[in-house]
């Protein structure tokens, strides 16, 4: 039997590694191990259902040639934006006039 290849373990996972994982799981969960495995299995099934639902939505969205909505019309008549003209403060002019 070939060992299972995992991306983060260069040599893969063999029988000794699986036995170590099993012993650690037994020590951590003890009598609750069947319940933990059952809830983990349910979680995986729900995850796969969610992924399949998303894939179906993507397929139906990309395959539909007619859209149920229409794009809004673009109006070319937008007001022209202008910046205000700069005028120096009035007190500077008064100072210049008083010095002259």
pLDDT per position as a tens digit, 25-64: 889 888 888 898 899 999 999 999 999 999 888 888 766 6
CA atoms within 13 A of residue 26's CA, in its CB half-sphere: 6
Question: Do residues 33 and 22 lie in contact, with contact meaning Cβ atoms separated by under 8 Å?
Answer: no
Residue 51 pLDDT? 92
- Per DSSP, helices labelled H in the chain are 15-29, 33-63, 90-99
Show me where the domains of the chain are located: 32-62
Residue 97 pLDDT? 61
Residue 47 pLDDT? 94
């Amino acid at each position: 039997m070939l060992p299972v290849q995992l991306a983060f373990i260069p040599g893969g996972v063999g029988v000794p590694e699986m036995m170590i994982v099993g012993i650690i799981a037994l020590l951590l969960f003890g009598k609750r191990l069947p319940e933990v495995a059952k809830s983990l299995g349910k979680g995986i099934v729900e995850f796969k259902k969610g992924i399949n639902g998303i894939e179906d939505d993507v397929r139906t969205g990309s395959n539909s040639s007619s859209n149920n909505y229409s794009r809004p019309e673009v109006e070319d008549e937008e007001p022209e934006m202008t910046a205000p003209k700069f005028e120096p403060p009035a007190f500077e002019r008064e100072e210049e006039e008083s010095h002259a």
